[in-house]
Amino acid sequence: MASYGLSVVNDSGIVSIDSEYARLCVLQSGRYSGGSGTSSVSFSPAITTQEPPLVFLRPDNNNGSVTIGCSIAGSPGNWTGVTISGAFGSALAGKYFVGGFAASPVASFGMRLWDSAGKLIFDSGTPSAVFTRFFQNWTYVKSTQDEQGFYTNWYSSPFSASTDEYLMINNASMRMLSGDNVGRLPRIVFDFAASQLWFTTTSINNPFAFSLPAIFAKINS
The pLDDT score that the predictor gives to residue 122 is 79
pTM above 0.95, yes or no: no
Assess whether the previous peptide bond of 45 is cis (omega < 30° from 0): yes
Q: Strands, E, within 63-138: which ranges? A: 65-75, 78-85, 92-100, 112-114, 120-123, 129-135
Residue 105: burial class (beta carbons within 10 Å; 0-12, 13-18, 19+): exposed
Q: What pLDDT score does 1 carry?
A: 57
- All residue ranges of the chain with pLDDT < 70 are 1-5, 12-16, 19-21, 161-163, 177-182, 206, 221
What is the per-residue burial (b if ≥16 Cβ within 10 Å, else e) of 129-142? beeeeeeeebeeee
Amino acid 99: pLDDT: 93
The model's pLDDT over 158-188, given as tens digits with 9 standing for 90+, comes to: 887 666 899 999 888 777 766 666 678 888 9
